[in-house]
Amino acid sequence: MPTDLDALVTLELRAFSGDRMSRAQYRRHLASPRAAVLVADLPGEGLLGSALVFFRVGSTLARLYSIATAPHARGRGIGARLLAAAEEVARARGCRAVRLEVRVDNTSAMALYERVGYRRIGRYAAYYEDGADAWRYEKSVAIS
């Protein structure tokens, strides 16, 4: 479990221009049994990315709330590895699927999600704080 709250908050500030998580939110999620905070880091490079997954009691759906990649680390497959790790955590907790929302203008994220098997299942108007719409995606992670 990551213990460097400062690094997580700094990554959040660098990765997103809005809809950011606060220090208090990260602190709460790190302590919650219904959340998993995953990190990608390398010696000498620090925190390169993070993912936050939520689990609800009695639900077989996991929700990927956020994937953040440090700007200098983009294009290195970190998001894809964090996504795979999030799916594995969801599977290990008995979830049948992972859901997520993504800005309709985030074409690189949508390409990643679609490439690894997520399918678009809905649209939310004015989902983000700046009024941008979101697509909802879902992928089965159940073992067949």
- pTM, two decimals, is 0.89
Measured CA to CA, the distance from residue 119 to residue 104 in angstroms comes to 14
Backbone angles phi, psi at 36, to 5 degrees: -125, 125
Q: What is the chain's Cα-based Rg? A: 15
Q: Please write the tens of the pLDDT for every residue from 38-91.
A: 999 988 888 899 999 999 999 999 999 989 888 888 889 999 999 999 999 999
Q: How far is CA 21 from CA 28, 29, 40, in A?
A: 11, 10, 18
The dihedral sign for the CA sequence 65, 71, 72, 77: positive
Q: Please write the tens of the pLDDT for every residue from 96-125.
A: 999 999 999 999 999 999 999 999 999 999
* 98, 52 contact by CB (below 8 A): no
- Choose between 11 and 118: higher pLDDT: 118
